[in-house]
Amino acid sequence: MDSCCENKAGELSQLRASQSRVLYIALVINAVMFVVEFSAGWIASSTALLGDSLDMFGDASVYALTLFVLDRSRRARAGAAIFKGGFMLLFGVVVIADAIRKLVIQEVPAAEWMGVVGALALVANGICFALLYRHRADDLNMRSTWLCSRNDLIANSSVIIAAGLVALTNTLWPDIIVGLAIAALFLHSAWQVIREAIEEWRAGGAETAKESGEDEGDTTGDSCCSSSQSTCASESGALR
């Protein structure tokens, strides 16, 4: 039984190391693309690009936060997921506000900038999506991170389509519609992440209370092994 626990601990350590490498790469990619898209969004007066740039900033923050809680408790990871869901809600509100502003001033964005930068962002997020795909079922935080990456691909593709429609129609409506669609996607994903995180938070609290009760009841040297087995069991789902 001790050998089983040791093997599980080794596998978990390798899993966390693999997750860390992927998250660091995704963090750098998203941080760089935030600067690129935010600058291009202001230059091109594009709601879709600005919304996508805020998404990049949010993803970079999410990756940093996920790295911070990677080796922490189940409840800590659930708390991080709740925070990430709140971030996604904020981005949805920001994009909606910018879309309203564009409708008021009737400013048509530069389609060329939208298309080029949107395509660059699509390539960058495609790399992140491929890296995160194999970790999507590891735990709640890695799943929510993968969901963010999936949403990015949808948003990037929408920006490129909007750029083509703006060029064809010479109106701001394609940019506005895409901006609002991105906001709706963020709001839906945010609710999904927050709902799952709250369930995880409650389960983590119950698990902590149970383990505390078991620790108090143990009076032999086997208590350490029992605790290790409990930890292995609670984390084994991440290795499937």
pLDDT of residue 70: 64
User: What is the spatial distance between Cα 49 and Cα 55, in angstroms, rounded to a whole number?
Assistant: 10
Q: What's this model's pTM, rounded to 2 decimal places?
A: 0.64
The answer to whether residues 162 and 48 touch, using CB atoms and an 8 Å cutoff, is yes
Residue 118's nearest CA partner among 83, 163, 82 is: 163
List domains and CATH numbers for the chain.
11-103+116-207 (1.20.1510.10)
Residues of the chain with pLDDT under 70: 1-16, 66, 69-72, 74, 137, 139-141, 204-240
User: What is the spatial distance between Cα 111 and Cα 96, in angstroms, rounded to a whole number?
Assistant: 20
Where does residue 58 fall: left (phi above 0), alpha (psi -120 to 50 degrees), or beta otherwise?
Answer: alpha
pLDDT of residue 215: 55
User: What is the spatial distance between Cα 144 and Cα 154, in angstroms, rounded to a whole number?
Assistant: 16
User: What is the spatial distance between Cα 141 and Cα 138, in angstroms, rounded to a whole number?
Assistant: 8
